[in-house]
Structure 1
Amino acid sequence: MKKWDSHFQLGDTVTAEQLEFFDKHGVIVFRNFISKEKVATYISELKRLESLWLSEQRDKVNGIPLKYGKDEHGNKTIQRLCFTSLYSDPLHQLLEEPRLKALMAFLNPYEGRIAENEKDGLVINNYINTPNSTFTQMGWHTDSPRDLFLGQKIMPMLNVGIHLDECPFENGGLRVLPGTHKQNILKLLFGKKYFIDNNDDDREVGFDMHAGDLSVHDGRLWHRVKQSPKFGEESRRRVMYVPLVTGKYKPKDENSRTPFYHRFTGKVHH
């Protein structure tokens, strides 16, 4: 397992070097995508939505279950929020950011779009390592079987993570197997035990993530979230995930049914 350094910055367009890097590895990290002030704004929006949805005892948004857990003081907390930009002006404005649209170049030759009201919308993951936390790590997986569960062919998609906390490599976080976005369908489906396998892999890489950084990975890439060795507040990692998708437009609303894979995994994806 090793750490990759990243020196990329995201401008109004993606450079040839960045396209080549992503095509080869299936992952790229851009530094300082948003300012510290914006990070603080989005954290306060996360807290506002969490307290609102806790008070409403809401269990789903547009058919997608919210993931509940407890903090180190035993207080109920929401560890995975979905479709957040539909309930927050600052988060909705973030999805209008032109530099996010520039990332569509990684989906060429497919036409990409930001799935604000598709899939699970803008997800905010709130990982914390406490005895009562239900969300401390996530086993190896790709995002592609969701398409198969829904009876669709596997379409390219990007998972774009906007990181709201400092997370050095040693503190766990995103791990990927570079290049596996080009694997065949058998390796894609059976290369590892989905979500159950949390083991280190000699080929895996991770990054030092800083608050305000942006990561992009191809949905077909094997990836996981490694548990933090720290506990309580020190282990907290908040990441917003913007899905960039291709294929048929499939919006969801409050009448949408819960996709059946949510019922048996218990380990909902970012």
Structure 2
Amino acid sequence: MNKWNSNFELGDTITAEQMDFFDKHGIIVFRNFLTPEKVSLYLDELKKLEYAWLAEGKEKINGIPLKFGKDEHNNKTIQRLCFTSLFSKPLHELLEDKRLKALIKLLGNYEGRIAENEKDGLVINNYINTPNSTFTQMGWHTDSPRDLFLGQKIMPMLNVGIHLDTCLFENGGLRVLPGTHKQNILQLLFGKKYFVDYSDDPREVGFDIYAGDLTVHDGRTWHRVKQSPLVGEASRRRVMYVPIITGKFKPKHEKSKTPFYHRFTKVVHH
């Protein structure tokens, strides 16, 4: 298992060096995307949304189930929130950031867009390692089979993670198999057992991630979230996921049906 370093910073355009790195590996990390003040602002927005949604008894947003758990004090928490920017002005404004729009170039020749009201919108994952947590890790997967479940061909997409907590390599977090975005369809579907395989892989890489950093991985890249060896508040890892997608525009609304893959698995894609 290897740790990679990164000194890329994201501006209003993607550089040739950044394009080449992403094309080769299917993963790239940009440092200091958010200032500490912005990190605090978005954490406050997360707390407000969680408080409001728990008070209202919300279970789904636009057909997508929320994922619930317990904190170390046995209080109910929401561990996966979706479509958050539709309920928060600061989060909506974040998606207007020119630097995020610049990432679309990483799709190459495809016309891409930030999916604010498609798929699951702006997702916020709240991982914490406690005895009652339902969300401490995530097994190996790619983001592509969702397209097959929805009866369409696999379309290129980018998963952009904006990190609100520092998570050093030895404390778990994102792991990827670089270069697997160029695998064939059989390797994409059967290279590993989706979500139930948590095992270390000698080819995997991870990073020291700091609050405010941004990661991008190609949707076809094998990745997982490794469980933290820490417990309680020290293990908390909050990440906002911005999907950049291609293909036909398919907005969701409050009468949208729940995709059937949410019914037979307790493991939710990010």
1:186-223 deviation per Cα after TM superposition (whole angstroms, max 9, x unaligned):
00000000000000000000000000000000000000
Within 5 Å, give how 1:26-175 maps onto structure 2. Answer: 26-175=26-175
- 1:207 matched to which residue of 2? 207
- 1:247 matched to which residue of 2? 247
Distance 1:265 1:104 in 2: 31
CA drift of 1:6 comes to 0.4
Distance 2:230 2:12 in 1: 37
1:180 is aligned to 2:180 = yes
Equivalent AA in structure 1 for residue 245 of structure 2? V
1:14-52 deviation per Cα after TM superposition (whole angstroms, max 9, x unaligned):
000000000000000000001000000000000000000
- 2:219 matched to which residue of 1? 219
Partner of 2:44: helix, strand, or coil?
helix
| Identity between Structure 1 and Structure 2 (%) | 79
Structure 1, unaligned runs of 5 or more? none
In the superposition, the TM-score normalised over structure 2's length comes to 1.00
Partner of 1:234: helix, strand, or coil?
helix
CA drift of 1:88 comes to 0.0
Distance 1:241 1:140 in 2: 17
Distance 2:239 2:153 in 1: 28
Equivalent AA in structure 1 for residue 127 of structure 2? Y
Equivalent AA in structure 1 for residue 205 of structure 2? V
CA drift of 1:252 comes to 0.1
Equivalent AA in structure 2 for residue 35 of structure 1? T
Distance 1:125 1:227 in 2: 14
Distance 2:40 2:221 in 1: 30
Partner of 1:68: helix, strand, or coil?
strand
Distance 2:131 2:206 in 1: 25
CA drift of 1:108 comes to 1.4
Partner of 2:104: helix, strand, or coil?
helix
Distance 2:101 2:256 in 1: 27
Distance 2:163 2:34 in 1: 9
CA drift of 1:182 comes to 0.3
- 2:191 matched to which residue of 1? 191
In the superposition, the TM-score normalised over structure 1's length comes to 1.00
Distance 2:154 2:175 in 1: 22
Distance 1:116 1:12 in 2: 20
CA drift of 1:155 comes to 0.3
Distance 1:97 1:11 in 2: 10
1:5 is aligned to 2:5 = yes
Structure 2, unaligned runs of 5 or more? none
Structure 1 runs (4+) greater than 3 angstroms displaced = none
Distance 2:64 2:39 in 1: 25
CA drift of 1:265 comes to 1.5
Distance 2:52 2:180 in 1: 40
Distance 2:76 2:185 in 1: 40
User: How many residue pairs end up in the alignment?
Assistant: 270
Partner of 1:239: helix, strand, or coil?
strand
